[in-house]
Amino acid sequence: MQKITVLSGGVGGARFIQGLLHGIARGSLPGVPPDAEVTVIANTADDLWIHGLKVCPDLDTVMYTLGDGIDTGRGWGRREETWSAKTELELYGVEPTWFGLGDRDIATHLVRTQMLESGYPLSEVTTALCRRWRSAESWGGVRLLPMTDDRVETHVAIADADAPSGRRVIHFQEYWVRLRAAVPAEALVFVGLEQSTPAPGVLDAIVDADLVILPPSNPVVSVGTILGVPGLREALISAPAPVVGLSPIVADTHVHGMAKQMLDAIGVDVTAAAVALHYGSRTAGGVLDGWLVDESDSDHVAAVEAAGITCAAVPLMMTDHDATAAMAAAAIDLVRPA
């Protein structure tokens, strides 16, 4: 398996990619050589414009993580960050105050915004930004691509008794950062998704892959939005490579983030089996050949396999790079030809 493609959200996807690269470097992944190429297709529907700057949270989380610049405690943003600009903006009374940009992080957004406003597409901007981080040993042979160059944003409808419709629609980041996903999401609106097109290199990364992995990222607003880019799901369904996913649900709850709230919003049960059925089997028009569940969810294996998806139960907690590499190895073993 020379070419591996990963469809990634933010924190969970980035940590999985770290473990995958760790396993490649150690030679512990079956059938994967040390010079294997990894392409990451990242979700951009979490993106927003704030204070005149274009912020791409999932792209940046993957980039900072692989470049050894991530704040490992938070799982996002820069290590050794300071917040002077955020404080000054608050003193000026500039809204929104609920989304803070760190001083070091602002540099990334300034460069991105300047390049976008000069006419460069997001895919080329991302390549340029990644050059700053490629000297890190942990980067490996990774290529990072946005799912699309087009503007796509996830919005969330929540209850609002004062609104004529009884609902108010807010940006996904406001739902997550300001509200902490503490109120029910009544509906999700993916603005611009249906009109978007895959970024250059995205379809080729799927068609040319020897393996495609869906890591334990949010199946609705991370991997789900990537699959929602027109043409991308179809490319995945018809791709010659096997497609294997790892459940973000362990013991009927999410490990990190808000998968539960998002699954509730689209009417999917919060179980490892239900997420697999949501993705569906490639034999029935879905996207999966294989699916890993946590060993605590071993009772879900039969239901997944009954749907035409090869399934196994293994430890799925990314406690360190070795544990995550073992997850990647198990995913490869699950769909590797005998």
Over 90: is that where the pLDDT of 167 sits? yes
Q: What is the pLDDT of residues 182-191, one digit of tens each?
A: 999 999 999 9
Looking up tokens 């393996």 gives 211
Q: How confident is the model at residue 139 (pLDDT cuts 50, 70, 90)?
A: confident
With CA atoms as reference, report the closest residue to 216 among 5, 64, 7: 7
What integer is the mean pLDDT of 264-272? 96
Tens digits of residue pLDDT in 298-323: 999 999 999 999 999 999 999 999 99
Amino acid at 57: P
On whether the CB atoms of residues 5 and 143 are closer than 8 A, the answer is no
Question: How many other CB atoms are found less than 10 A from the CB of residue 33?
Answer: 11
3-state secondary structure of 331: helix
Check residue 119 and give its pLDDT.
Answer: 98
For 189-221, the pLDDT digits (tens) are 999 999 999 999 999 999 999 999 999 999 999
List phi, psi (to 5°) of 81: -75, 150
d(C-alpha 311, C-alpha 48), whole Å: 37
CA nearest neighbour of 201 among 39, 90, 51:
39
- CA nearest 81: which of 59, 109, 106, 48? 106
Please give the Cα distance from 55 to 31 (Å, whole number).
37
pLDDT at 98: 93
pLDDT band at 83 (very low <50, low <70, confident <90, very high): very high
Question: Distance between CA 235 and CA 3 in Å, rounded?
Answer: 16
Length of the chain as a residue count = 338
Q: What value does the mean pLDDT of the chain take?
A: 95
